[in-house]
Chain A
Amino acid sequence: MHPAPSIILFTTLSGLGFGLLAFLGLGMPGPTGWAAFAFFTIAFALAGGGLIASAFHLGHPERALKAFTQWRSSWLSREAWTSAATLAVMGLYALGRIFFAADWQMLGGLGAALAVLAVCSTAMIYGSLRAVPRWHMWLTPVHFLTLSAAGGALLAGQVGLATPLLALAAAVQLGLWMQGDRAFKRSGTSLASATGLRGGMVRAFEPPHTGTNYLLREMVHVVGRKHATRLRAIALILGYGLPILLLLLPFNHWLGLLAVLTHVLGIFASRWLFFAQAEHVVGLYYGKR
């Protein structure tokens, strides 16, 4: 699939932001006043900024509000609801923390639960697509959730929690790659099933057009797949390994910041691969993957 920069930015940053919001909602940490202002600003900038970035890939962003209507069937619509609800509830909770030094626990707990649902909805947009076998796995939502939990803990300064959560997220990431590499074959979709042609080896002889088209640009993205192994190594080292190492060192705010930065860089690489490596079954019709 085409790795649109706006989508990579959105899913990475908003995942982190919602992770942080969940921890803030649970009172981990429970800052007040200016410290609370700083924490909530970062969380809202990441989660809200990600949402704004995602609007850039729409053909008609002026109609974006209509995306709230189909929550009964569409995970994208559910994502709109859950993220807007999380931001609203956590906005109220933040007011309490910042101005009244109050911990409205019910509100915070609700906000944290909504943040989990928001991350889940984002993941299910991809996880529900049967036409992209690499994404159509239960590991996809688990990957997004563990990643948000780890990144959120890291940003929230929960050093004790962040280390095991990062290790868990790394394990899920590895599992996702290993399962994903076998997913296309396991889906049972092949050129033979796509065309229904029997009685011999089927080969794409001639495409329908000499140039390219929307489908090939959007679904059959092959640039950079050749770097997959190297990018996986970069994602593992920067996204998970280095942050764990930095957290194991005696705690220091600068080391913490460095851990956050390497984590974000590594996750950008992982998320880029998440899209670039995802093969859509339509590629079969063009004799491509």
Chain B
Amino acid sequence: MTQLPHSTARKLGLVIDLDTCVGCHACVISCKGWNTENYGAPLSDTDAYGANPSGTFLNRVHSYEVQPENGAAQLVHFPKSCLHCDNAPCVTVCPTGASYKRAEDGIVLVNESDCIGCGLCAWACPYGAREMDAVEKVMKKCTLCVDRIYNENLPEEDREPACVRTCPAGARHFGDLGDPDSDVSQLVAERGGIDLMPEQGTAPVNKYLPPRPRDRLDEVDVLAPYLDPVATEPQGFLGWLDRALDALPGGKG
């Protein structure tokens, strides 16, 4: 059923720390690895070793440059996957009921055997979280590793999404964002976590923690003033060369 549940018992989701992410793409690789070998159709690659490689990914890492008015630019690595929105537009547009949001934990999933591959859900998602697999012709999206988080065959520490488990920087956190006392909710409250594209009205569950303000490098060292170059005009041979070159046509002199 592609009508959205009125409310979900829990709101499982990710909290992504943009301050900590180092842009290593390990989450992209572990996601592709797990989701190719497990739940649903594998994530295909086409022309993988050719001139025009392309593939299906459920998680991709963008990089952005933030240039403040004064000072150095900052590079922010920005992992993006399904945000498991409360008001998911991808779910309601689905004509077959293949796309659905689970009432028990809020995970948005695709029932691949019902998917006709019309692509409308990918059009409806403002975040680009859904990709049609070029080989299987069904819509693929982040499942929040639904086949890991409840999997009692796995050791307890592995019962979290592959991307979270693998992140070497600890930039990804998984938990119940519907419970204000959960670790992830506390983290969001403490760090001022934000929604992506709030004006789109999707009410995303996943939250992003903004980068902390950087230290300013105004005063590098108390000794710095003593290290200023003493001579501002070139002396000796260089000085002569400078003057001689300036005297040539087109020079300053």
Contacts and interface: CB of A to CB of B under 8 A. Distances in A.
Contacts of B3: 72-73
B33 to A, nearest CB: 16
Nearest to A72: B3
Contacts of A68: 95
A205 B63 contact: yes
Contacts of A64: 116
8 contacts: A60-B115, A69-B96, A69-B97, A70-B95, A197-B211, A211-B53, A214-B54, A214-B56
B95 A69 contact: yes
Given A59-B132, A63-B114, A76-B120, A196 B208 contact: yes
A59 B117 contact: yes
Interface residues of B, number: 70
Interface in A184-238: 187-189, 191, 193-209, 211-215, 218-219
A197 B66 contact: yes
B93 A196 contact: no
Interface stretch (A96-104, A154-162, A278-286): A278-286
Interface string A42-57: 0000000000000001
A contact residues, range: 35 or more
Nearest to A187: B199
Interface stretch (B74-82, B160-168, B176-184, B232-240): B74-82
Contacts of A59: 115-119, 132, 136-138
Nearest to A132: B123
Interface in B71-115: 73-76, 78, 80, 89, 91-98, 114-115
Contacts of A73: 2-4, 91-94
Contact of B96 (A70, A128, A131, A285): A70
A61 interface: yes
A214 B132 contact: yes
A130 B201 contact: yes
Nearest to A209: B60
Given A206-B62, A280-B123, A130 B200 contact: yes
Contact of A66 (B67, B97, B200): B97
A67 interface: yes
A76 B124 CA distance: 12
Nearest to B118: A58
Contact of A76 (B54, B118, B126, B200): B118
A113 interface: no
Contacts of B126: 130-131, 189, 280-282
B124 A194 contact: no
Contacts of A67: 95-96, 116, 118
B65 A76 contact: no
A150 B246 CA distance: 76
A193 B199 contact: yes
B5 interface: no
Residue with the greatest number of chain A CB neighbours at <10 A, chosen from B66, B73, B201: B66
B42 interface: no
Of residues B53, B91, B123, which shows the largest number of chain A Cβ atoms within 10 Å of its Cβ? B123
A198 B210 contact: yes
Given A199-B66, A203-B65, A76 B93 contact: yes
A200 B64 CA distance: 11
A199 B132 CA distance: 35
A74 interface: yes
Interface string B10-48: 000000001000000100100000000000000000000
B80 A203 contact: no
A75 to B, nearest CB: 7
Given A60-B115, A200-B69, A209-B60, A195 B97 contact: no
Contacts of B97: 66, 69-70
A242 B172 CA distance: 60
Contacts of A187: 199
Contacts of A203: 64-67
A197 to B, nearest CB: 5
Interface in A2-61: 57-61
Contacts of B61: 208
A205 B122 contact: no
Given A203-B67, A218-B119, A66 B114 contact: yes
B210 A196 contact: yes
B228 to A, nearest CB: 29
